[in-house]
Amino acid sequence: MSDPRTIKRQAGFSLLELLVAAAMFLIVAGTAFTLLGAAQKRYQTDSQILASFQEARLGLDQIVRDVNDSGYPPPNHFSVLPAANLYAATPFAGSPSAACFIGTTCASPQDFDLIIETNLDPSSSPNVQWVRYQLPAGSTTLMRGVTNKVAMDPVAATSAAGVMVPYVQNVMNNATAGQISAIRAVYPTMFPGGAPVPIFAYTCETSGTTPLSCPTAGAFNTPQNILDVEITLIVQATAVDAQTGLPRLVELHGRGHRLNPNQ
């Protein structure tokens, strides 16, 4: 009890030692938590970005599948044609008529608007549906709508209240000139020429063996002759990059191919 060596051992660390230890711990812990905090912030913005891109990818997949299934049942399945709502007169509905020319007289289909005519599930209903994808002018939300085919203009039918619902957010294909130049400052290869990028580009079936890009297909440049639909979706994430503060975008490409005959 009176042994001074024993007392010294029992006293533990000196105040100085404790302070040094605490300071070292603070430095190490501080560094670790700062890094962790940065990583967590980065993770949060990245997961938001991923969610945007994932939504866009699922949207693209659905468009491709709808294009693949377009035009069922075709008119060739009937020796006596039934009521117009029971068969797909053309795989892609045209407005104001199926004989309009894409890029000139068609209100739909065009660069940001496509109406697919098909029966999505013939076993549940014999009625053919119109599936419309539209990026309204001045908007960045791609809309999708499904409605039963009726005896009226497909654009008017799908424009009824409640038919079109938001489908993919932050679609920048038809962004304003200011937005495009801001994006091109970060991604110089996007938006060639600074012009909006069509979501839908069409290839038309012709009387020859080679399908042509619809605008060059002359008399075949009509909705009923669309064979392939090339889809380009440019989607901007809701969050900016955590480190640079710049916008984050992704460009997705897909191609839908019609297998049903065009008449």
Partner 1 sequence: MSATRQRRCTNSEEGVALLIAISALLLISVVAISLIIAAGMETSLSGNYRSSTSAYYAARAGLEEGRGRLLPRNPDYFNATSPAFIPAALTLHDVRYVTNPTGAENVLTAYPDTEYDTEFGAGSLAGATVKTIASISPVAGIAGALYKWVRINPITEKSINLDVNGDHVEDPTTLLFFDGQHLNLTATGQQALEVTSLAVLPNGTQKILQYVVAPVILSLNFPAAVTAVGNYTGATSFGNQSAGFGISGTDFCNPASQQYAVAGTSPASVTNLSAKLTPAGNYPGTGGSAGPPATASVGSNAAAMQNFPDPLHPGQMLDLTTIAGLNQLVSEIQSSADYTMTDCSNTSNLGSASSPTVVMVTGNCSLSGNPSPPGSGILLVQGDVQYVDHPYDGLILAIGTGAFQQSASRLTHFYGSLVLAQTVNPSTHAPLGTPGTPTLSWLAGTGNPNLQYDSCLVANAQPTITYKPLSFREISQ
Question: How far is 58 from 236, CA to CA, in rounded Å?
Answer: 15
- Residue of 42, 97, 122, 177 interacting with partner 1 (CB under 8 A): 122
Q: Which stretch binds partner 1 (CB under 8 A): 34-42, 94-102, 135-143, 227-235?
A: 34-42
Listed residue (128, 59, 139) closest to 92, CA to CA? 128
Do 164 and 180 contact (CB within 8 A), yes or no?
A: no
The CB-of-122 to partner 1 minimum distance in angstroms stands at 6
The CA distance from 154 to 107, in Å, is 10
Binding of residue 78 to partner 1 (CB under 8 A): yes
Q: How far is the CB of 187 from partner 1 (least distance, A)?
A: 23
Q: Which of residues 221-240 bind partner 1 (CB under 8 A)?
A: none
Please say which residue, 62 or 232, places its beta carbon nearer to partner 1: 62
Q: How far is the CA of 109 from the CAs of 44, 87, 252, in angstroms?
A: 39, 19, 20
Using CB under 8 A as the binding rule, whether residue 82 contacts partner 1 is answered as: yes
Nearest approach, Cβ of residue 242 and partner 1 (Å): 16
Q: 154 preceded by cis ω (within 30°)?
A: no
Output phi, psi for 70, to 5 deg. Answer: -65, 145
Q: Which is nearer to partner 1, 56 or 249 (CB)?
A: 56
Does residue 2 interact with partner 1 by CB under 8 A?
A: no
Exposure of 76 in the CB half-sphere (CA atoms within 13 A): 6
Spatial separation of the C-alpha atoms in residues 249 and 150, rounded to whole Å:
39
Residue numbers at the binding site for partner 1 (CB under 8 A): 1, 10, 12, 25, 29, 32, 36, 39-40, 43, 47, 50, 54, 57-58, 61, 65, 68-69, 71-82, 86, 119-123, 126, 207, 209, 259-261
